Chain A
Amino acid sequence: MLLKLLSRTGILLASTLVGSMIVFGLLAVLPGDPATVALGVNATPEAVAQLQQEFGTDRPLVVQYLDWLGGILQGDFGTSYVTGADIAQQIGQRIAVTGWLVGTSLVLTILIAVPLGVLAAVRQRKASGTVLAAMSQFGVAVPSFIAALLLINIFAVRLGWVPSGGWTAPVEDPAEFLRKLILPVVSIGLVQGAVLSRYVRSAALEIMREDFIRTARAKGLTPLRAFIKHGSRNAAVPVVTVIGLQVAGLLVDTIVVERVFVIPGLGSLLFDGLANRDLLLVQGIALIIVCLILVLNYIVDLLYIVIDPRLRRQLA
């Protein structure tokens, strides 16, 4: 058990290292020189050369990478090429905003997906089950930003119930925070919820065919009760994996949704950073996202063990 844990941790660290190389390498070879962009249309070749030296982008890639990684290990992500601001600090401010968005969206996703998926499965042969399945199919086909534009058009522009965008920190004004949070969260949650519900449905369907469910039903339980009482734990294993993977999808969704709703989170920072060739900033954010996803997978791995006693025995 401990050995397994150690090896999983080792894999996590190794893949983080490889991830950092890929993030750094890919962005460094992106066309568009940061110094040229920073100086804009008034640039002289001498000024560009001087700024490249100042940024350190004239050094060999390996040296730049080691310098960057060394800094990050000490919590120093460097300073932005464009604003001169401290990147670690900038990411810190934005990550809180994106955290709220991802966290609440994930909760909504699960709240939508689990009942919807289970119901669609236990009512597989009834009309209501078919309608539920069709609805989730529709949800899967709609990208979050389309859902976002639709929701803005209806609830902000036409009805005027909530603002069309912006952000207020929860400590500042909790009511306003909720008013601004609701549309972005719903537009991510509806779509991701529809996606997840299909996995929940197929996981539940598989369980419903098992002998022990047939036994439970023979003893007089309704399909739903049989599933909840005997099948839900088994169905949870594949669903947890998918949820883990889905957080990556959620992060990608927030990048777009933050832009549509004018939310100052990690996504909009990444967008601006890319446009301005603020390479250190983009590399920093990308690394953070890669780390988040790897750590999530790690947690999912550990969760299996908690959920499924059989896995625990195998590992022991």
Chain B
Amino acid sequence: MSRSPRKIAMALTAVAASLTLAACSAGAASTSTSSSSSTDAETPTEVTIGFGAEPASLDFTTTDGAAIPQALLDNVYEGLVTMDDNGDIQPLLAESWEVSDDNLTYTFTLASDVAFSNGDAFTAETVKWNIENVQSDNWTISLKSYMDVVDSVEVIDDTTVAVTLSSPSNDWLFRMTTRVGAMFDPDAVDDLATTAVGTGPYVVSSFNLGDSLVLEKNDGYWGDEPEMDTVTFKYIEDANAMNSALLSGSIDAIPGFASLDTLDQFSDESEYQILEGGTSAEMVLSLNNASGIFTDVTARQAVNYAIDRQTIIDSVAGGYGQLIGSMVPTTDPWFDESLVDAYPYDPEKAKELIAEAGIEGETIRFQVPSNSDTQQVAQLVASNLEQVGLNVEIEILEFPAQWLEQVFTGHDFDMSVINHVEARDLATYANPDYYWGYDSEEFQELIAAADAGTAEEQVEYLTEAAALLSEEAVSDWLYLQANITIAVTGLEGLPMNSTSESFNVTDLSWS
């Protein structure tokens, strides 16, 4: 009788000891990769992709956030046009379109025999209903304002529809590739939060809050059949948990991989592939142009000379990321290479400008959102600025709640840093009420002219506008974030760039 407890005690001791040993070896061998292989467990027509942010519902007409269109746009809901991986507008439900000479009327020729997943037909009437629906009170998200420019929609015949704008807008067709251009079935919009009826190659087979969203192939799809029968969007907020899920084979890919310091776990090329693409996410050091010391252009230029952007890319983003010099991603047609070197890292020059502006020893109130990347960037920025004789007082604000309230809405800051992920957001500088408080009539005119002009004029004016921002050092554009995707080997057709609102899964296949 008295023997067995001793045995138990010894067994427990052994377990504890082996756990301790395993812990040590786990630390020592953290650079080696896992021996498990996810492809064994997967049938060749299924794939599971890991994402950080999950949709709150399936309804992007009333719920904001990037996660819903990421899963549903192009895969379940389709628009007249779509954005390809290079950032170019391509036909989808509209086979082709013509623009009138005054740039006001777009006449779309629709693909014929398109049906929704419930069997309802998609026609020119559907397009008219959808555009008017975005303009109605049924849509409540603020992005609906992109449809304000539409004056009227005319159904010409079943497969032809003409959309007339109240003023010429290049931006409108681009926005039609986003969620506002998604085509719904007018007879199936009563329960958008839980039921998605679209014309796309997939239907939502289950949506498990807090866990995953599963897409199944739409058997009656009008276009080319996708390779995968089942695509699961698995939602894992914690970066460590996400890595473990890929290492243990419960997911097959992580798009938009953010924890770059853990990248070496996936360095075994026989098991994992690391894809590098572009994004529209600019890491912006925003300066308050409307009040405080940064109302002075010389002070802003001093900051631009004082910051060592390449070092920030190397230490915060693992070397992945591009210098841009203005608010333009490299994939936009108006990206101007020459702006990259407008303010090279030059602390001496920065000191001169600080003296010129008379702000030596001034204290900058630096409001930093609580994300890990922005906090790291903030430390480097602060040390750069302190080297040239400025004082920096960092205040960490919880993101999004506190940051939105104090900085974005309250404009109570001198300097902040945040990743601006929205596509084609150069135009936000034309809004004098936007949080960085830049009010330039010249810039506003350039943006307006670009939107109203021809496609060539758009490029010309926006290039000029981007150069103006750089010249006036309105912000310091630290870098353009890279889009890193990690996937198990054999998974092909992953979107390389994050140019679109959707994560398009229609080209995925196993080799």
Contacts and interface: CB of A to CB of B under 8 A. Distances in A.
Contacts of B35: 158, 160
Given A82-B56, A84-B57, A264-B208, A165 B405 contact: no
B22 A150 contact: yes
A158 B241 contact: no
A36 B241 contact: no
B244 A164 contact: yes
Interface stretch (A8-16, A246-254, A255-263): A255-263
Interface string A37-55: 1111111110110000000
B34 A131 contact: no
A261 B241 contact: yes
Contact of B26 (A83, A115, A158, A261): A158
B180 to A, nearest CB: 12
Contact of B211 (A115, A154, A262): A262
B48 to A, nearest CB: 10
A150 B23 contact: yes
Contact of B404 (A36, A152, A158, A224): A36
B511 interface: no
A214 interface: no
Given A32-B401, A39-B64, A224-B2, A157 B34 contact: yes
A264 B210 contact: yes
A115 B5 contact: yes
Contact of B8 (A38, A47, A93, A115): A115
Contacts of B247: 156-157, 164
Contact of A132 (B12, B65, B404): B12
Nearest to B141: A42
A128 interface: yes
Contacts of A166: 211, 234, 250
B9 A262 contact: no
B142 interface: yes
B5 A164 contact: no
Contacts of A132: 9, 12-13
Contact of A260 (B16, B211, B240): B240
B241 A259 contact: yes
Contacts of A275: 400-401
B238 A259 contact: yes
A131 B62 CA distance: 60
B211 A167 contact: yes
Contacts of A138: 16, 20
Contacts of A43: 142, 404, 408-409
A268 interface: yes
Contact of A36 (B13, B142, B409): B409
A115 B9 CA distance: 9
Given A47-B142, A128-B6, A260 B208 contact: no
A256 B23 CA distance: 20
A300 interface: no
B248 interface: yes
Interface residues of B, number: 55
A277 to B, nearest CB: 4
Select the residue from B10, B22, B234 with max chain A CB neighbours within 10 A: B22
Interface size class of A (residues with CB under 8 A): 35 or more
B175 to A, nearest CB: 13
Interface string A255-288: 0000111101100110110011100000000000
A154 B22 contact: yes
A165 B26 contact: no
Contact of A41 (B23, B245, B408): B408
A32 B404 contact: yes
Nearest to A120: B9
A32 B245 contact: no
B9 A153 contact: no
A241 to B, nearest CB: 25
A260 B64 contact: no
A156 B26 contact: no
A215 interface: no
A135 interface: yes
B250 A268 contact: no
A137 to B, nearest CB: 11
Contacts of B62: 84
A129 to B, nearest CB: 8
B19 interface: yes
B238 to A, nearest CB: 5
Select the residue from B1, B141, B402 with max chain A CB neighbours within 10 A: B402
B26 A32 contact: no
A160 B249 contact: yes
Contact of B210 (A94, A123, A158, A222): A94
Contacts of B235: 262
A262 to B, nearest CB: 5
A149 interface: yes
Contacts of B210: 94, 264-265, 268-269
Contacts of A40: 64-65, 142, 400, 404
Contacts of A243: none
A163 B250 contact: yes
Contacts of A83: 56-57, 63, 193
A164 B404 contact: no
B401 A277 contact: yes
A315 B401 CA distance: 52
Interface string A136-178: 0010000000000110111011101001111100000000000
Interface in B46-96: 56-57, 62-65
B250 A135 contact: no
A161 to B, nearest CB: 10
B143 interface: yes
A264 B211 contact: yes
Contacts of A149: 240
A222 B2 contact: yes
A262 B245 contact: yes
B209 A264 contact: yes
Given A32-B401, A41-B404, A150-B19, A165 B250 contact: yes
A145 to B, nearest CB: 9
Given A39-B64, A115-B8, A268-B210, A262 B236 contact: yes
Nearest to B23: A150
Contacts of A84: 57, 62-63, 193
Contacts of B507: none
A110 interface: no
Interface in A92-109: 93-94
List of 7 A-B pairs having minimum Cβ-Cβ separation, nearest first: A32-B401, A264-B210, A42-B142, A160-B36, A164-B244, A83-B56, A164-B248
15 contacts: A31-B405, A36-B404, A38-B64, A41-B422, A45-B409, A82-B56, A83-B63, A84-B193, A152-B248, A154-B22, A165-B236, A166-B250, A224-B5, A264-B211, A271-B237
Interface of A: 30-33, 36-45, 47-48, 80, 82-85, 90, 93-94, 115-116, 119, 123, 128, 131-132, 135, 138, 149-150, 152-154, 156-158, 160, 163-167, 222, 224-225, 259-262, 264-265, 268-269, 271-272, 275-277
Given A36-B404, A260-B238, A262-B245, 10 more contacts: A31-B398, A32-B404, A45-B409, A84-B57, A85-B57, A154-B26, A157-B248, A158-B35, A160-B248, A268-B237
Interface of B: 1-2, 5-6, 8-10, 12-13, 16, 19-20, 22-23, 26, 34-36, 56-57, 62-65, 141-143, 193, 208-211, 234-238, 240-241, 244-245, 247-250, 398, 400-402, 404-406, 408-409, 422
